[in-house]
A and B are shown apart, each in its own frame.
Chain A
Amino acid sequence: MMANPLRARGGIKPAHHKTESSGQAIRRVPLPARLVVPLRQDSQGTARAIVAVGDKALKGQLIGVPEEARGTAVHAPTSGTVVGIGPYPVPHPSGLDALCVVIEPDGEERQIEHLRLDTARASRDELIAHLQHSGIVGLGGAVFPSHIKLGKGGVDTLVINGAECEPWITCDDRLMREQSGAVLSGARLLARLAGAQRVLIGIEDNKPQAIAAMREATREVVEREAESAVSVSVVSVPARYPAGDARQLIRALTGVEIPYGRRSDAFGIQCFNVGTAHAVHRALDHGEPLTSRIVTVTGNVERPGNYEVLLGTPANELLALCGVRPGTGHVLMGGPMMGFALPRPEVPVVKATNCLIATSQALFPPAEAEQPCIRCGNCARVCPTGLQPFELYWFSRARNLDRVADYHLFDCMECGCCAYVCPAHIPLVDYFRYAKDAIRGRDEERRAADRARARFEFRGFRIEREKAEKAARLAAKAAETRAAQAAAPDGQPDAQALIAAALSRAQAQNGAAAESPPLSPPPES
C-alpha cells in the first residue's frame, strides 16, 4: 500500500545521515557506575519517590509513584542501592536540575517478579492502568503518557509512527528491523485498547528493510489469525522532513488534517511511536516496566550505532563507549532539526532520549550571521503547516503580537524547516518562540489585571452596599424614634418604647447576619 496520493505540502530533504548508525544490530551497553533516574519521566508531572537513601532496589522495582492520575510510574533500571535522592542535572534545554533517584548498581541484575497479565482476558481498564504503572510514555520524544491517550477511546484508526524523519536518528528503524513482531504485537494491543478497527503503520520509504520486516510480521499474523478484528497495513510514505510529525503522518496516511491546536482523538485517530508500541508489548505481554530504551549514538564518534540503554545512564559514559572523536563540540539530544544541545555532558538518558549526536565543526558548521529578510518566501514554500514564516518574523520583530497570533503563530510546531532554508540565515524558530512567550506573558498579565480589576470593582460595590445598609439602618432608627415621639402624648419619647424598638432592631440584625445571603460580586463586565 502506498501513501495517500495527497501531495504533502512543504517539508525539506536534508542529508539523512542514517547509514552511519543503521548498519549494525542494536547492542547492549555495560552497566554504568551509577544511574541517575529523574522522577519526572513524562510530560505531565514528577513522580513521588517511595525509596530512601540506603534502600536496596531490584530491577524493575517501583521507585516513584505518580502523584496524580495523569502521571506515570518510575522504576529502578537495575538492581542496586539507592545512594542519593535530590536535584541533579537533567537533559532539558533550560539546564535546570530536577529531582532524581541515584542508584549504584550491584551488577547482579536481580529482577522483580514480573506481573503476568492475561492480556486476552484482562479488562481494558486493567490493561490501561497497567501501562500507567509500567511507566509507558510516548518514546518518539514527547513522552506523553500512553494511558491518557488511550483513556478516552472513540478511536477508529490507530497510526503507528515509524517515519523517523529527522536526520541521523535510526533507533526506530533498527527496532522495526529486529523486533518487528514485538512492535506489531504492541500495535495490536494499542489498537484493542484504543478501540481502533484499523492500524496504519507509516514508515518513510528510505527504510526499505524496516518496511519489509514489518510487512513480513503482518503477513505472519494474518496467516495465523485468519479472522482478526483489526486490519493492519504497513504504508510507505515519501521521505521528507517532517513526515514523522504526528499530524503530518496522519494526513499522509488518512488524508485528515488535524489542526495543531486540536487533539487527534476528536477526529477518531490516535498516533503512537513504534518504540512505544514495543514498550507496550513488553509491559503487557511480559509484565516488564519501561526501564530502558533504544538510543542512536552517532555523529562525531568512532562507533556510531544503536544501543539498548538503561534509563539513567549518563550520556557522556554512553558516548565514551562509542569513542568520541577529537573536535567534538556540544552533544545534541534528539535530531538536529528539533533536538537541543545537552546543557551538561553527564545528564542521564531518559525516556525522551532517542538519539545523541556528537557535533563537530565539520558535521555541524555554525550558522552564518543573520542578514536582513528579503522576503524570498522560501520559508513559506517549505512550511508544512502552510504558514508565512517571514510575515510572522516581521510581526514578531515589530512586537505586533496581535497580528502574529492572527497569522497562526500558535499553529507553528517549530520544526525548523524555515530556518533551514533561509538564505538570510535568520533563526526564525527563535523569533517564534520569543513571540509565543511574549504572547503568553501578555495574556497572563491581562488575566492578572482582570482579576485585580474584578477585586477592585467588588470593593467599590461592597463599600457602596455597606453605605446603603448603614443608611437604611439609620433611616429605620429615625423612623422608630419619630414613631415613638408621635406616640408619646407630651412630645417626649417614651423610654419603654425606645428600648423595645432598639431590642427588636438588634434581634432583626442578628437574624439577618445569620441568614444573610452570600456576597455576590457585580457581574463580570
Chain B
Amino acid sequence: MTNPPYIHQPVSIRRVMLTVLVALIPGIVAYVYQVGAGILVNLSIATVVALVAEAGVLWLRAKPVWVALTDGSAVVAAWLVALTLPSIVPWWLTVTAILVAIVGVKHLYGGLGQNPFNPAMAAYCTMIVAYPALMSQWPAAGHTDFLPQLHLILGGSRDIDGVTGATALDALRTGLRNSQTVNNVLNNDIFGVVGGRGWEWIALAYLVGGLFLLARRTITWHQPVGFIAGLGLIATVSWLIQPERFASPLFHLASGGAMLASFFIVTDPVSGATTPWGKFIFAFCVGLLAWLIRVFGVYPEGVAFAVLLMNLFVPLIDMKTQPAVFGYRDRKRP
C-alpha cells in the first residue's frame, strides 16, 4: 500500500529534458542557416557518444540503464556541448568533450542531479585549455558549404582558409590590443547589426527558444534576467564611461555564448542555485564575471569559466537566500 498523495501531475524528467531540446531547435536551425550544416554532424556525434557513454557508466555502476538512458539528460548535455564547441572541430575533440562531460563531470560525481559543475561548461573549459588552437577556429558566417566543414570534422587537413573567421569577441579583443577604438574595430564586415554577422541571428534564435522555456515554466525568469542584468549592467557602465575602449551592452549580449548561456546554461537546475533570489544572484554574478573575463582575461569568451566559478558558490548562495517560511515573514507579530 502506498502513501499519499495518490494523484500526480503527468510530469517527468524526460518531459522536462524534451522541452529543453525543443527549445534548442530554433537556435540549431539558425545555426545551420547562417553557418552551415556542419553543426548537425557534431550534434549527431555528440548525441551518440553521450548515450553510449551514459549507458556504459551506468552499466559499470550497476545502475538501471534504460530508465536513466531515456530520461533525456544525456542528450541535453550532448547538445549543449556540441553547441558550445566550434562546429568544425575534429570529431575526436567532440568525443573527448562529451566524455569529459558525461563520465567526468556527471557520473564521477554521482550521476544525474549530483554534479556540482555544469557538464557542458566544464567540457568547454577543458577543451579550450587543452586545445586552444582548435577551439578558436570558428566557422565564418556565410560560408555554409557543407563538404569543407565535413572534411574538417572528419579530421582532414586543417585547411581552414575561407572556412573560418574570427569571432566577434575575438576580433574586438585583437583590435583593442592593437590600440584601435571599438568603433574602428566594429567597422569590419564580420560584424552585423549589434554582434557578429550571422551569429547575432543565432543568438536571437536562442532567445526565442528561451522565451519558449519561460512560457512553459521549465525555467523561471530569475536566471535569464539575472545574467542579462549582470552582463548588461557592467557593460553599460563601462561603455558609458569609455565608449572607445568598451563595447556596448548589446554587443556583449548578442555575442559569444551570452544568449545560449542566459537561457540554457545558467538555468541548469542541478549545478545552479535554487532559491528565487539565489538564482538571480548566481546568474547576475556569472554575467558580471563573464564580462570581466571577456575584457580583462586571457580568453575571448568568459561565460564558461564564469559558470564554473559560480558553481563553487552555489551552496553558499542557497544557504544565504533561503526564503522566509509561512508565518515567519513578519517578525513584528506575536
B12 touches A368 (CB 8 A): yes
Cβ–Cβ < 8 Å partners of A424 in chain B: 12-13, 113
How near does chain B come to A389, taking the closest CB pair, in angstroms?
11
Of residues 385 through 399 on chain A, the ones whose CB sits less than 8 Å from some CB of chain B are: 385-388, 390-391
In the complex formed, the residue of B with least CB distance to A373 is: B113
Query: Does A135 have its Cβ within 8 Å of any Cβ on chain B?
Result: no
Known: A359-B6, A377-B269, A388-B275. A257 touches B12 (CB 8 A): no
A407 touches B274 (CB 8 A): no
Cβ–Cβ < 8 Å partners of A341 in chain B: 1-2, 6
Query: Does B8 have its Cβ within 8 Å of any Cβ on chain A?
Result: yes
Choose among A259, A365, A376, A381 the residue that contacts B16 (Cβ–Cβ < 8 A): A376
B7 touches A429 (CB 8 A): no
Choose among B1, B7, B270 the residue that contacts A420 (Cβ–Cβ < 8 A): B7
Report the interface size class on chain B: 35 or more
In the assembled complex, the Cα of A438 lies from the Cα of B63 at a distance in Å of 28
Interface 9-mer from A184-192, A332-340, A345-353? A332-340
Cβ–Cβ < 8 Å partners of B275 in chain A: 380, 388
How near does chain A come to B278, taking the closest CB pair, in angstroms?
10
In the assembled complex, the Cα of A12 lies from the Cα of B7 at a distance in Å of 12
In the assembled complex, the Cα of A375 lies from the Cα of B273 at a distance in Å of 9
Cβ–Cβ < 8 Å partners of B71 in chain A: 371
How near does chain A come to B222, taking the closest CB pair, in angstroms?
10
Query: Does A98 have its Cβ within 8 Å of any Cβ on chain B?
Result: no
Of residues 427 through 443 on chain A, the ones whose CB sits less than 8 Å from some CB of chain B are: 427, 429-430, 433
Cβ–Cβ < 8 Å partners of B326 in chain A: 9, 247, 251, 257, 259-260, 384-386, 411
How near does chain A come to B113, taking the closest CB pair, in angstroms?
4
Query: Does A372 have its Cβ within 8 Å of any Cβ on chain B?
Result: yes
B7 touches A337 (CB 8 A): yes
Question: Which of B13, B114, B269, B326 has the most chain A CB atoms closer than 10 A to its own CB?
Answer: B326
In the complex formed, the residue of A with least CB distance to B114 is: A372
Interface 9-mer from B117-125, B224-232, B317-325? B317-325
In the assembled complex, the Cα of A373 lies from the Cα of B324 at a distance in Å of 23
Query: Does B309 have its Cβ within 8 Å of any Cβ on chain A?
Result: no
In the complex formed, the residue of B with least CB distance to A343 is: B1
In the assembled complex, the Cα of A106 lies from the Cα of B48 at a distance in Å of 76
How near does chain A come to B301, taking the closest CB pair, in angstroms?
26
Query: Does B177 have its Cβ within 8 Å of any Cβ on chain A?
Result: no
Interface 0/1 of A228-255, CB less than 8 Å to B: 0000000000000000000100010000
Cβ–Cβ < 8 Å partners of A167 in chain B: 7
Cβ–Cβ < 8 Å partners of A261 in chain B: 327
Cβ–Cβ < 8 Å partners of A420 in chain B: 5, 7-9
How near does chain B come to A278, taking the closest CB pair, in angstroms?
27
A267 touches B334 (CB 8 A): yes
Query: Does B162 have its Cβ within 8 Å of any Cβ on chain A?
Result: no
In the complex formed, the residue of A with least CB distance to B10 is: A365
Of residues 321 through 366 on chain A, the ones whose CB sits less than 8 Å from some CB of chain B are: 330, 332, 336-341, 343, 359, 364-366
Interface 0/1 of B296-330, CB less than 8 Å to A: 00000000000000000000001000111111111
Cβ–Cβ < 8 Å partners of B324 in chain A: 386
A332 touches B5 (CB 8 A): no
Query: Does B187 have its Cβ within 8 Å of any Cβ on chain A?
Result: no
Query: Does A498 have its Cβ within 8 Å of any Cβ on chain B?
Result: no
B7 touches A336 (CB 8 A): yes
Of residues 138 through 173 on chain B, the ones whose CB sits less than 8 Å from some CB of chain A are: none
Interface positions of B (Cβ within 8 A of A): 1-9, 11-13, 15-16, 67-68, 71, 73, 111-114, 220, 269-270, 274-275, 318, 322-330, 333-334
8 A-B residue pairings within 8 Å (CB atoms):
A14-B9, A167-B7, A258-B327, A259-B325, A371-B13, A380-B275, A386-B329, A422-B11
Closest CB pairs A-B (n = 3): A259-B327, A416-B5, A372-B113
